[in-house]
């Protein structure tokens, strides 16, 4: 004998907002920003680094679309790629600070600090994404049609 039919959980509105922000900021905007930075760089960027940077941007955008479609694996991959993208950015910031040299007047280049402050918006968005996509009602929405058995 079957039990009562399960009630389908509606997609929370915040999924549209957070996935849209992730797609625009970590995908599209960061892709254009990274592409222009590599194009205008004084030194040619190695192919492996280029593939890593562009790949992370594209994967963040694609995983945001996948999460928007309602797949639990898309939610998990979006959080993973966002975290990897921020980890890479923090690594680049630490590397830039460690290689910074003082100019003739004894000051450091201000672009390092501008880059550091430019990471505040992505850090906020990363925190917002982790907070929202781990809420109980959002996880319940994603797990209602989970056929993988792993997540």
**Across the chain, what does the average pLDDT equal?**
87
pLDDT (0 to 100) of residue 150? 56
Query: pLDDT digit string (tens) for 38-69?
Result: 888 888 888 998 999 999 999 999 999 999 99
Q: Is the pLDDT of residue 1 over 60?
A: no
The pLDDT score that the predictor gives to residue 151 is 52
Question: Over pLDDT 90: what percentage of the chain?
Answer: 48
Section 69-74 average pLDDT = 91
Q: Over 80: is that where the pLDDT of 4 sits?
A: no
Burial bucket for residue 137 (CB in 10 Å: 0-12, 13-18, 19+):
exposed
Given a cut of 80, is residue 132 above it in pLDDT?
Answer: yes
pLDDT digits (tens, 9 = 90+) for 19-29: 999 999 999 99
pLDDT at residue 143 in the model: 87
Burial of residue 98 (CB within 10 Å: 0-12, 13-18, 19+) is exposed
Does residue 94 register a pLDDT over 90?
no
What is the mean predicted confidence (pLDDT) over 99-124?
79
Helix axes 72-98, 13-22, angle to 10 degrees: 40
């Amino acid at each position: 004998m079957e039990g009562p039919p399960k009630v389908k959980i509606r997609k929370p509105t915040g999924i549209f907002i957070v996935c849209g922000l992730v797609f625009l900021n970590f995908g599209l905007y960061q892709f254009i920003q990274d592409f222009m930075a590599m194009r205008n760089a004084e030194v040619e960027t190695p192919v492996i680094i280029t593939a890593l940077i562009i790949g992370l941007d594209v994967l963040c955008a694609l995983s945001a679309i996948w999460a928007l479609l309602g797949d639990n694996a898309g939610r998990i991959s979006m959080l993973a790629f966002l975290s990897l993208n921020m980890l890479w950015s923090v690594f680049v910031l630490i590397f830039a600070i460690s290689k910074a040299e003082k100019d003739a007047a004894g000051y450091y280049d201000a672009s390092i600090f501008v880059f550091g402050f430019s990471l505040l918006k992505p850090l906020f968005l990363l925190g917002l994404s982790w907070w929202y996509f781990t809420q109980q009602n959002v996880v319940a929405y994603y797990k209602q049609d989970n056929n993988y058995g792993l997540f």
